[in-house]
Amino acid sequence: MSRPIIAHIRLDAFRHNYRVAKQSHGGKALAVIKANAYGHGAVHCAKAIEGEADGFAVACLEEALQLREAGLPEPILLLEGFFEAIELPEIVANDLWIVVHAQWQIEILLAAKLAKPLHVWLKMDSGMHRVGLSPSEYGQAYERLKNHKNVANIVMMTHFANADNLSSNHTLQQIEIFHNATHGLGSETSLENSAAILGWKKAICIGDTKNQWTRPGIMLYGADPLMNTDTKLKPVMQLNSQIISIRTIKQGEPIGYGSIFTAERDTVVGVVACGYADGYPRSAVTGTPMAVEGKMTRLIGRVSMDMLFVDLTDIPNASIGSSVELWGNNVSANAVAISAGTIAYELFCNVKRAHFQYFDAANI
């Protein structure tokens, strides 16, 4: 038998979450499926909304070509644009859209000899201070691109640094900076990531939304960046493994590397075939939730490379081969991430050595 760790991917849930994102805003939505759809499988996820999605967003040319080779015809945006001039002919040939976020990209784009003009998303640094043109140079850059034969059209965009913090004024400040710097320029804009769609749409959606693009990412995979418990989102990935060993340790006995857990009572301990080499975070602490045969319990002790410990004391029917849910329908990926001092994005992206099984209830 092969190692029993399985990532169950619900494509119908992915499709549902895309619809939630689009309906919540009312405009157009690029499904962000960079990093292999946050570890879920980019081609499978894209195919699940083929013909429905307004487009897709990926990090780089290689990720876009994977989608084109799979036959996906929708617009694909390169979120980091191009890295070298040599990429531009292939970008044109595959009808890709590009983000332009720096002056050096502008100079290369305007100097290039292209077979046809490109769709450009011009990025402003409104306060994230990662990439993007400053507000003071944005208008001039826009005008240079708008009047050039290599540019088909321009979407004005920015990215929020603190949209997942509803008590911070930083997002409102970024919105104001963006609107002030783009006043009188074009009509197409893109401001909202997942957190902004869920938490800031009233501040962003001014007037007709038909020319406003959103960029839902983590919410497509069922994790709410605002940590709401009443979300309409559905988990897409359920990560499961099995118990491969059971033993009882006496009160006062330690287990695992570093002996960081000592039994407070006589404790039935299950060993699960999953560890940090599979993507489960080593930083997860005792008490991190998990479920055995649908019953909630907890992680105990330190996560090792290939195995971890689960408390079976209050699950007397657990046995060798019992199913363990590490996150998914019963165990929130956000809860696991918080316990491990990280975010759900990282959990999903780090999954490996698992058998991926794709399921779509609409096709049954």
Q: For 241-288, how does the pLDDT look when each residue is reduced to its tens digit (9 = 90+)? A: 999 999 999 999 999 999 999 999 999 999 999 999 999 999 999 999
Which pLDDT does position 207 carry in this prediction? 59
Distance CA 75, CA 186 (A): 20
Helices then strands (H, E): number in the chain?
A: 12, 18
Q: Say if strands 308-311 and 295-300 run parallel, antiparallel, or are unpaired.
A: antiparallel
Which pLDDT does position 52 carry in this prediction? 96
Q: What percent of the chain has pLDDT over 70?
A: 98
Distance CA 186, CA 183 (A): 8
Which pLDDT does position 27 carry in this prediction? 87
Q: By CB neighbour count within 10 A (0-12 exposed, 13-18 middle, 19+ buried), where does 75 fall?
A: middle
For the chain, domains (ranges, CATH) are 11-221 (3.20.20.10), 237-363 (2.40.37.10)
Distance CA 222, CA 314 (A): 29
Which pLDDT does position 231 carry in this prediction? 77
Q: Which residues contact 139 (CB under 8 A, 6 or more apart)?
A: 181, 182, 185
Angle, nearest 10°, between helix axes 135-146 and 170-182?
40
Which residues are the active-site residues?
A: 34, 257
Which pLDDT does position 242 carry in this prediction? 98
Give residue 250's Cα distance to chain centre.
42
Q: What percent of the chain has pLDDT over 90?
A: 92
Q: Which of 200-204, 215-219, 330-334 has the lowest mean pLDDT?
A: 200-204
* Helical H segments across 103-218, by residue range: 103-111, 135-146, 170-182, 194-199, 201-204
Q: Which residues contact 8 (CB under 8 A, 6 or more apart)?
A: 237, 238, 239, 240, 328, 357, 359
Read off the pTM. 0.96
Contact 276, 248 (CB under 8 A): no
Mean pLDDT over residues 356-363, rounded?
Answer: 91
Q: For 34-84, how does the pLDDT look when each residue is reduced to its tens digit (9 = 90+)? A: 999 999 999 999 999 999 999 999 999 999 999 999 999 999 999 999 999
Which pLDDT does position 228 carry in this prediction? 80
Q: pLDDT band for position 363 (50/70/90)?
A: confident
